């Protein structure tokens, strides 16, 4: 999954995508303040100006949420920056500078701004011209490693060949039930695909809770903790997090587990808020653990060997808080770019994108690692392992992680250049395109970094 490049994006998890404005918006001259912080996704220094109708207290809170330093009445004055993301869609306007000299981030900064934050990207001179194309030359997505080992003396034999235990070291990977992912896999190899940052639990954590003296409740909670402990989730949601600082909930924390969650987190646990866009392995490939996926859309977000029992625990929490599905339908699902891309509905291409009579495919401004030609009604491809080959795919061409991305105009439909692999069909030529029919062209600089995603018409 979008391992490195997703973390290179610039948007908070909760921002829904919108169509970016095509010309620079007029920003207000009212300077409310500015905030210097490290971007949760970009991991870069960012500086945000609060302009127009912001109340100082709201701007200050927004800055505190980003763990930034706020100064009122002044604006950012970065010396070197890639560009600024301008957002004037609301009276509370913002201008966010990406403060680095690393021009390798120009493309992902632009995508983060335009595609996910719905802003207008105003590149600085160092990101102008040729640098503006979207290209991933380093740390391209690579499938997680499947590691196998023989359990230590005294431990039960593993369920894989030769009594081994086998684990995918990646997001959604799980070890065998009752074992500990943090021991069986290397957490430092397994956090890719999600952003990590330390975050305090929800304020409900401090609420008194009579259920803490109910042994049956505590036993069920202990089971939920042990299931989470068997999955990659433990790498950011326990003492195994970087510097021991968990993101929002911590299964090692004394006291209630569920009260650490926000309402939306509980709803994701109960499967009321869909978490299909996160992706996930089928149980058969993941030591019996699965989560909500296309086959089980209303399952819990939590990986489990007992789907009914896991959903039931969180459904009881959902009811305990008096939440309703209707109220939840009004809040964003919190999955950010993963949802924006999963639910994306393509329109007819408006630029140079297309396919010529000789099969040559033309895409937008970037170099491709993945080229998909799909039926017009196919879903957009997103994350490994289960959402990256949508039904209706006619042809998919992959550049290996260490390979050089493809220059526009060098790919012909159905022709596999040397050193590259045709992921679909598994063998042989793809179905011929029907003249005059629309197809969904999806070209990405890396997984989750689309260059082109629109409908082309076969010549
Ligand atoms: C690389 C770190 C990382 C990993 C691995 C990770 N998460 Fe998280 N998770 C986060 C962060 C950061 C947040 C907080 C997002 C926010 O609200 O700002 C979060 C929040 C959540 C929430 C929302 C909680 C709430 O109350 O709003 C749920 C549910 C969740 N994670 C489930 C999981 C599951 C299930 C897994 C394993 C498949 C997992 N996470 C793996 C980083 C991670």
Distance 241 CA to ligand 1 centre (A): 11
pLDDT grade for 112, boundaries at 50, 70 and 90: confident
Residues 230 and 95 placed together within one structural domain of the fold = no
pLDDT grade for 118, boundaries at 50, 70 and 90: confident
- Give the pLDDT confidence of 41-74 residue by residue, as tens digits: 788 899 999 999 999 999 999 999 999 999 999 9
Query: How many domains, the chain?
Result: 3
> Is residue 331 scored above 70 in pLDDT?
yes
Distance 56 CA to ligand 1 centre (A): 30
Are 334 and 387 contacting, i.e. CB atoms less than 8 angstroms apart? no
- Give the pLDDT confidence of 402-436 residue by residue, as tens digits: 998 999 999 999 999 988 999 999 999 999 999 99
Angle at the Cα of 453 from the Cα atoms of 451 and 455, rounded to 5 degrees? 140
- On whether residue 399 sits in a domain, the answer given is yes
Residues 127 and 149 placed together within one structural domain of the fold = no
pLDDT grade for 132, boundaries at 50, 70 and 90: low
Which are the contacts of 154, defined by CB distance < 8 A and separation ≥ 6? none
- On whether residue 316 sits in a domain, the answer given is yes
372-406 burial string, b = 16+ CB within 10 Å, else e? bbbeeebbbbbbbbbbbebeebbbbbbbeeeeebb
Residues 283 and 151 placed together within one structural domain of the fold = yes
Residues 361 and 213 placed together within one structural domain of the fold = no
Supply the residue whose CA is at minimum distance from atom 35 of ligand 1. 302
Distance 291 CA to ligand 1 centre (A): 14
Alpha-carbon distance of 217 to 213, in angstroms, equals 8
Are 361 and 355 contacting, i.e. CB atoms less than 8 angstroms apart? yes
Residues 23 and 73 placed together within one structural domain of the fold = yes
Are 270 and 230 contacting, i.e. CB atoms less than 8 angstroms apart? no
- Give the pLDDT confidence of 234-287 residue by residue, as tens digits: 999 999 999 999 999 999 999 999 999 999 999 999 999 999 999 999 999 999
Residues 195 and 288 placed together within one structural domain of the fold = yes
Which atom of ligand 1 sits closest to the CA of residue 249? Answer: 24
Domain range enclosing 92: 3-132
Which are the contacts of 325, defined by CB distance < 8 A and separation ≥ 6? 272
> Is residue 210 scored above 90 in pLDDT?
yes
Residues 153 and 286 placed together within one structural domain of the fold = yes
- On whether residue 243 sits in a domain, the answer given is yes
Average pLDDT, the chain: 91
Task: Identify which of 248, 256, 289, 337 to mutate to test ligand 1's pocket (most ligand atoms within 8 A of the CB).
Answer: 248
Alpha-carbon distance of 261 to 250, in angstroms, equals 10
- On whether residue 343 sits in a domain, the answer given is no
- Give the pLDDT confidence of 365-414 residue by residue, as tens digits: 889 999 999 999 999 999 999 999 999 999 999 999 999 899 999 999 99
For residue 14, the model assigns a pLDDT of 30
| Residue list, ligand 1 pocket, CB within 6 Å | 13, 171-172, 191, 194-197, 199, 202, 231-233, 235-237, 247-249, 261-262, 264-265, 268, 301-303
Which atom of ligand 1 sits closest to the CA of residue 260? Answer: 26
Residues 375 and 424 placed together within one structural domain of the fold = yes
Which atom of ligand 1 sits closest to the CA of residue 202? Answer: 26
Distance 392 CA to ligand 1 centre (A): 31
Distance 285 CA to ligand 1 centre (A): 22
Residues 312-338, mean pLDDT to the nearest whole number? 95
Residues 222 and 253 placed together within one structural domain of the fold = yes
For residue 370, the model assigns a pLDDT of 98
For residue 20, the model assigns a pLDDT of 55
For residue 194, the model assigns a pLDDT of 85
Residues 109 and 231 placed together within one structural domain of the fold = no
Residues 107 and 164 placed together within one structural domain of the fold = no
- On whether residue 180 sits in a domain, the answer given is yes
Residues 257 and 168 placed together within one structural domain of the fold = yes
pLDDT grade for 180, boundaries at 50, 70 and 90: very high
Angle at the Cα of 128 from the Cα atoms of 132 and 81, rounded to 5 degrees? 100
Supply the residue whose CA is at minimum distance from atom 3 of ligand 1. 236
- On whether residue 338 sits in a domain, the answer given is no
């Amino acid at each position: 999954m979008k391992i490195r490049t997703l973390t290179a994006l610039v948007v908070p998890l909760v921002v829904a995508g919108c169509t970016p404005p095509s010309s620079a918006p007029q920003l207000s001259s009212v300077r409310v303040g500015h905030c210097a912080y490290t971007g949760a996704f970009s991991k870069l220094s960012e500086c945000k100006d609060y302009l127009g109708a912001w109340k100082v207290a709201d701007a200050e809170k927004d800055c505190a949420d980003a763990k930034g330093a706020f100064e009122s009445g002044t604006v950012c004055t970065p010396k070197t920056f890639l560009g600024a993301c301008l957002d004037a869609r609301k009276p509370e306007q913002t201008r966010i500078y990406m403060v680095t000299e690393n021009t390798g981030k120009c493309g992902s900064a632009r995508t983060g701004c335009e595609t996910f934050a719905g802003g207008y990207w105003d590149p600085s001179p160092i990101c102008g011209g040729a640098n503006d194309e979207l290209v991933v030359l380093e740390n391209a997505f690579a499938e997680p490693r499947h590691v196998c080992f023989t359990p230590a003396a005294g431990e039960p034999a593993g369920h894989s060949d030769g009594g081994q235990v086998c684990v995918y070291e990646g997001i959604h990977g799980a070890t065998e039930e009752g074992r500990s992912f943090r021991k069986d896999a290397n957490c430092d190899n397994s956090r890719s695909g999600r952003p990590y940052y330390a975050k305090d639990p929800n304020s409900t954590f401090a609420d008194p809770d009579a259920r803490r003296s109910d042994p049956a409740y505590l036993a069920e909670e202990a089971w939920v903790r042990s299931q989470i402990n068997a999955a990659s989730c433990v790498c950011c949601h326990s003492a195994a997090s970087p510097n021991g600082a968990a993101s929002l909930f911590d299964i090692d924390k004394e006291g209630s587990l569920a009260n650490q969650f926000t309402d939306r987190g509980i709803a994701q646990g109960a499967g009321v808020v869909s978490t299909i866009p996160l992706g996930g392995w089928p149980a058969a490939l993941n030591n019996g653990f699965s989560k909500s996926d296309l086959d089980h859309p209303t399952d819990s977000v939590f990986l489990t060997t007992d789907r009914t029992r896991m959903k039931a625990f969180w459904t009881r929490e959902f009811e305990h808080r008096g939440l309703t599905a209707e109220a939840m339908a009004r809040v964003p699902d919190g999955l950010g770019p993963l949802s924006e891309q999963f639910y994306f509905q393509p329109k007819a291409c408006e630029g140079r994108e297309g396919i010529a009579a000789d099969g040559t495919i033309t895409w937008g401004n970037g170099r491709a690692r993945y080229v998909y030609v799909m039926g017009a009604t196919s879903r957009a491809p997103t994350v490994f392992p289960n959402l990256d080959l949508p039904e209706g795919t006619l042809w998919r061409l992959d550049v290996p992680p260490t390979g050089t991305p493809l220059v526009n105009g060098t790919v012909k439909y159905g022709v596999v250049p040397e050193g590259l692999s045709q992921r679909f069909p598994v063998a042989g030529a793809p179905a011929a395109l029907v003249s005059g029919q629309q197809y969904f062209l999806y070209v990405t600089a890396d997984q989750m970094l689309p260059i082109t995603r629109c409908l082309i018409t076969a010549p």
